[in-house]
Chains A and B, each alone.
Chain A
Amino acid sequence: MDLITPDLGLLFWTGLVFVLLLFLLTKFAWKPILNMVNTREQKITEALELAEKTKAEMQQLAAQNEELLKEARATRDTMIKEAKSTADKMVEDAKSKAKEEAEKVIENARVSINAEKVAAVAELKAQMAAFSIEIAEKVVRENLSSDEKQKTLADKLVGEINLN
């Protein structure tokens, strides 16, 4: 029965010690410890959040960089393309112009050659006509040197006319 009967003296000391203990520990141990632990937990949470945010930002930045790079590459490609086409066009233009020029020169040459030719032919014709007249005069003069010869010729001519 002793074993399960609370003892007044011990109860008094227990009460005194426990209440003191509760008060001291609460004030000087548990509250500071819990506060610090809470602060630390908050810090850790914040740090984790920050890390997560930074990571997201980094990812965004990397994506942006990629985008920029892509754009730059595209711009470069178009620029090269344009430059190439411009150069091609210039070469083409130069070529066609040169060709035109050459054709023009050739044409001019041809025209002048033709003119020369025509002039030459005309002169030749005129020369030929003069020569012909001279020859014809000489022939006529020869053929008409006697009457007989005149008559023969006349006949021959008449005969030719009849044939016609």
Chain B
Amino acid sequence: MIGQNTIKSVLLAISVLLVSLVSFAETTHKKDELELEHEFDISGLIMHHIKDAHEIHLWGGAHDGVSIYLPIILLDNGTKVFSSSHLYHGEEMTAEDHATHETIHYTVGVGPAEGYALYHEKIYKLDNGELHFEDGHPHNAKPTSLSMTKNVIVLLIVALLVCWFAFSTAKYYKKNGAVAPKGIAKFIEPLVIFVRDDIAKDNIGEHKYMKYTPYLLTIFFFILTGNLLGLLPMLGANLTGNITITFFLAVCTLLATVFSGNKNYWKHIFATPGVPKPLLIIMMPIELVGILTKPFALMIRLFANMTAGHVIILAFVGIIFINKNIAWGALSVPMALFISVLEILVAFLQAYLFAMLSALFISAAVEEDHH
């Protein structure tokens, strides 16, 4: 009971902190832009927040704010490594859009970043020292970038966090033997047992679940930690709401499914039992596409859920700035708080769903013939 209460209060504290900090951070952030533009661009703000960046913006405006600049790693005629501050604080340039004839402001890199420009968090190679725009998009070539972006940093933090509590739990058992859990093990063990029993064993079955439990545990804790970390405002992380991350995780599940597939599984795909031969010509492509649609749904589900949560919270906070009146806070703060608390539930739910559906797909691949 004590453990449950502690978890409850910790979650509550996180959510309260979250709402206050999100509102605070966005307040300061937007005020500067308001002064510059006099027009509040809510969709621009939201898109900027949910997309990757080459800096971790802490507070302040674009020029006088405080950011952590992350390393840029480019594979372009050799490896080039430099700080992103050379791109953010480079030479100011203007260009005319070839199609819409609008004037576009951008900065080109200086120092080690010479010859490159950053526009909307994408790195472009300069052509004759400038970018060429068409319909608002640069048409310059992009170098291969392995930069340590904000999401890479958050990814590392997530990995370290998961390692920390998983290893602490393992250490506890190593030290104390097979006893009742205490401390962090008390918090982690129920989740581990939940994944093992309710996700792995229930779906995959008594005989084969042990092989897949480590993978399911890893994706469950990775997604859960990523989801919860995404709710922390200062970092501005949206790791599990990034299509690249969910794409990779879905590919992992796809590979696990395809390589675990037994004879029975492939037979159901290429020669579904009980289907007349001519129909198989239609069925086979459908079944083959089905292999891909399952992980594709996993990818979209996690991405859309997490991104939508961030969008809604920011949109509610944005009401204040759209109307330029603090009184709207009376409406938007409780709404944002409500959604934030809901997001904590969603964080657990999506981690559970991803692991559960992965287990389900794997179980379909390893299932024995029952006919």
Residues of A bordering B, CB below 8 Å? 2-15, 17-18, 20-22, 24-26, 28-34, 36-37, 39-40, 43
Determine if A30 and B217 form an interchain contact, defined as CB atoms under 8 angstroms apart.
yes
Closest residue on chain A to residue B120 by CB atoms? A2
A-B contact count (CB 8 A): 119
Determine if A33 and B244 form an interchain contact, defined as CB atoms under 8 angstroms apart.
no
B266 at the interface (CB under 8 A from A): no
Closest residue on chain A to residue B188 by CB atoms? A33
User: Which residues in A have their C-beta under 8 angstroms from that of B147?
Assistant: 9
Closest residue on chain A to residue B216 by CB atoms? A30
The CA-CA distance from A12 to B73 in the complex, in Å, is 12
Determine if B214 and A36 form an interchain contact, defined as CB atoms under 8 angstroms apart.
no
Closest residue on chain A to residue B185 by CB atoms? A33
Determine if A15 and B192 form an interchain contact, defined as CB atoms under 8 angstroms apart.
no
Closest residue on chain A to residue B179 by CB atoms? A40
User: Which residues in B have their C-beta under 8 angstroms from that of A26?
Assistant: 214-215, 218
Determine if B179 and A28 form an interchain contact, defined as CB atoms under 8 angstroms apart.
no
B105 at the interface (CB under 8 A from A): no
Determine if B244 and A7 form an interchain contact, defined as CB atoms under 8 angstroms apart.
yes
Determine if B144 and A8 form an interchain contact, defined as CB atoms under 8 angstroms apart.
yes
Closest residue on chain A to residue B145 by CB atoms? A9
User: Which residues in B have their C-beta under 8 angstroms from that of A37?
Assistant: 178, 189, 192-193, 196
The CA-CA distance from A40 to B217 in the complex, in Å, is 19
The CA-CA distance from A10 to B173 in the complex, in Å, is 35
Query: Can you give 22 A-B contacts (C-beta < 8 A)?
Result: A2-B122, A7-B244, A9-B73, A10-B151, A10-B152, A11-B244, A13-B146, A14-B244, A18-B248, A18-B249, A21-B222, A22-B215, A22-B218, A25-B163, A25-B221, A26-B214, A32-B170, A32-B174, A33-B169, A33-B189, A36-B177, A39-B178
Determine if B244 and A18 form an interchain contact, defined as CB atoms under 8 angstroms apart.
no
Determine if A3 and B163 form an interchain contact, defined as CB atoms under 8 angstroms apart.
no
Q: Which of B50, B51, B120, B192 contacts A34 (CB 8 A)?
A: B192
The CA-CA distance from A28 to B214 in the complex, in Å, is 11
User: Which residues in A have their C-beta under 8 angstroms from that of B149?
Assistant: 7, 9-10
CB distance from B297 to the nearest CB of A (A): 14
User: Which residues in B have their C-beta under 8 angstroms from that of A15?
Assistant: 248
CB distance from B34 to the nearest CB of A (A): 25
Residues of B156-183 at the interface with A, using a CB-CB cut-off of 8 Å, are 156, 159, 162-163, 166-167, 169-170, 173-174, 177-180
Determine if A7 and B178 form an interchain contact, defined as CB atoms under 8 angstroms apart.
no
On whether A30 and B213 interact (CB within 8 A), knowing A3-B51, A6-B243, the answer reads yes
B26 at the interface (CB under 8 A from A): no
Determine if B170 and A33 form an interchain contact, defined as CB atoms under 8 angstroms apart.
yes
Determine if A29 and B170 form an interchain contact, defined as CB atoms under 8 angstroms apart.
yes
B148 at the interface (CB under 8 A from A): yes
User: Which residues in A have their C-beta under 8 angstroms from that of B148?
Assistant: 13
Determine if A30 and B156 form an interchain contact, defined as CB atoms under 8 angstroms apart.
no
